[in-house]
A and B are shown apart, each in its own frame.
Chain A
Amino acid sequence: MITFAGVTKRYPDGTVAVDRLDLQIPTGQITVLVGPSGCGKTTTLRMINRMVDPTEGTVAIDGRDVRDIDPPTLRRGIGYVIQQAGLFPHRTIVDNIATVPFLLGHDKRKARERARELMDRVGLDRSLADRYPAQLSGGQQQRVGVARALAADPPIMLMDEPFSAVDPIVRAGLQEEFLRLQAELEKTIVFVTHDIDEAVRLGHRIAVFAVGGTLAQYATPDELLSEPADDFVRDFLGGSRGIRRLRFFQELDAEEAGAGTDEATVAADR
């Protein structure tokens, strides 16, 4: 559980990025922070791994104040995926993935071996292992970004608009695989996006932020779509709320059907 208690981030010029935020992010689920630009969702995410420190209030992971942990140590235990992937251009794909294990001083050969396994997991062909990031497509780079965040098997993953730089078709594929991966791994995921459709599709819980860094509503996707807390949330969800809700349920049904099929396949394999 990640807990925000009375968290405010105020910059020296007086801008308030996050305003008295109270939020509890459950373990093993996907929590999506969504809102228009300038609403403080990325700042909120970055306060978890101390890329930003709050002005007031505390952020705690499983009851432990993150301020008591030295930032690099804290960050090595939290997966981090950013927009445009942020891959190191001078390192091969396999070495990019093994970044955190290398930092932790793990055996290089073993770390690379595990990196190759992770490539399978995120749907990357192993023949790409010795290429450089510039030789990969945007979607492939984003998969490397996810594999890199998973390399040291952290319980928490922070994802800052990880799929926003790729085209809609690739994005849909990445989202699907992301859900499949999460079903296996059950990480605590905090996911930032400005795309409400993505939020509804991926989140177990959705935190809608309003400009000025306040939390407008924190609810499950169904609650959010059926009972928006105020006009801001209603506007943000847009006019097609009913259609979204319908689609949300369709996907839920499809997933359940899909899960059933998977089980059947597993049973057949046995």
Chain B
Amino acid sequence: MNAILGALEWFTRAQQWSGPDGIPARLLEHVWYSLLGFAITVLIALPAGLVLGHVRRGRLAGLTGFLVTSSANAARALPTLGLLILAVILTSAGDLVPILIPLVVLAVPAVLVNTYAGVRQVEPGLRDAAEGMGMRGPQVLLRVELPVAMPLILLGMRTAMIQIISTATIAAYVGLGGLGRYIVDGYARQDYDSMAGGAILVIVLAVATQFVFAGVSRLTVSPGVRARG
């Protein structure tokens, strides 16, 4: 009980709401890392998932399912913090690169697997109709497979974004900003109010993300696909 009251009291302190260590600044940093990580994730995983899901003929097609799922499982099993420290040691390029590597590596599987599965699950009859009416390969993919797979693709993106937001907390371990600062610095100072406050902020951000994705899904998923559940 005390911890919660302490955290609430922490939120009401005036200095939490201004300056470089204030909540607005830290929140902005956190959102910035997250969006950057998410953008890179989508740029890698979305086209890969679409193309791998679309290609069904030939020797490549038999292998892709196995490769996609096993690489995704392997990536999920990696320890985040270990990956971050490895990235810091191995890269000397800027401040942001080391933190983006674990964010992206952990988020890619969610988008990749869902996109791949979404496209694969499009009914064969739809592809047949699309091709039979004279759509070319990319048209079948973008005009039929992508919109029909959209609910599953968005689910993957939402999972990825929430994962990124919670993982971005560890950026503070390597001296970067974001909401993780409250947790790492609070721990160093034995300031439990600050740690709890930081944790609550990360949770609120994750929940807010759910709502954002619900809105995105209203805009991008056709009612015809949504109605089918």
B19 beta carbon closer than 8 Å to chain A: no
Known: A88-B144, A100-B134, A134-B228. A82 touches B129 (CB 8 A): yes
Interface residue tally for chain B (C-beta within 8 Å)? 23
Query: A73 contacts which chain B residues (CB < 8 A)?
Result: 134
The contact of B223 among A51, A84, A132, by CB within 8 Å, is: A132
Query: B135 contacts which chain A residues (CB < 8 A)?
Result: 72, 103
B91 beta carbon closer than 8 Å to chain A: no
| CB–CB B136/A72 < 8 A | yes
A220 beta carbon closer than 8 Å to chain B: no
Query: Whole-angstrom distance from the CB of B23 to the nearest CB of chain A?
Result: 41
Which of A3-11, A14-22, A89-97 forms contacts with chain B? Answer: A89-97
Q: Which residue of A lies closest to B131 (CB)?
A: A51
Query: Whole-angstrom distance from the CB of A104 to the nearest CB of chain B?
Result: 8
Chain B at the A interface: SS class:
helix
Query: B136 contacts which chain A residues (CB < 8 A)?
Result: 72
Bitwise interface map of B from 137 to 173 toward A, beta carbon under 8 Å scored 1, else 0: 0010000100110100000000000000000000000
Query: A100 contacts which chain B residues (CB < 8 A)?
Result: 133-134
| CB–CB A51/B224 < 8 A | no
Query: A217 contacts which chain B residues (CB < 8 A)?
Result: none
Q: Which residue of B lies closest to A80 (CB)?
A: B132
Query: B139 contacts which chain A residues (CB < 8 A)?
Result: 103
- Chain A residues numbered 146-160 whose CB sits less than 8 Å from any CB in chain B: 148, 158
Q: Which residue of B lies closest to A74 (CB)?
A: B134
Interface residue tally for chain A (C-beta within 8 Å)? 30
- Chain B residues numbered 11-63 whose CB sits less than 8 Å from any CB in chain A: none
Known: A51-B131, A72-B135, A75-B132. A134 touches B125 (CB 8 A): no
Known: A75-B133, A76-B133, A103-B133. A51 touches B128 (CB 8 A): yes
A49 beta carbon closer than 8 Å to chain B: yes
The contact of B134 among A86, A103, A158, by CB within 8 Å, is: A103
Query: Whole-angstrom distance from the CB of A196 to the nearest CB of chain B?
Result: 25
- Chain A residues numbered 107-164 whose CB sits less than 8 Å from any CB in chain B: 132-135, 148, 158
Bitwise interface map of B from 188 to 229 toward A, beta carbon under 8 Å scored 1, else 0: 000000000000000000000000000000000011110110
* Chain B CB within 10 A, most for which of A73, A77, A85, A103: A103
Known: A82-B128, A86-B125, A91-B222. A135 touches B227 (CB 8 A): yes
Question: 15 A-B pairs, CB-CB below 8 angstroms?
Answer: A72-B134, A80-B132, A83-B125, A84-B125, A86-B126, A86-B128, A86-B132, A88-B129, A89-B225, A90-B144, A90-B147, A90-B150, A100-B133, A103-B135, A134-B228
Interface residues of A (CB under 8 A from B): 49, 51, 71-77, 80, 82-92, 99-100, 103, 132-135, 148, 158
Interface residues of B (CB under 8 A from A): 123, 125-126, 128-136, 139, 144, 147-148, 150, 222-225, 227-228
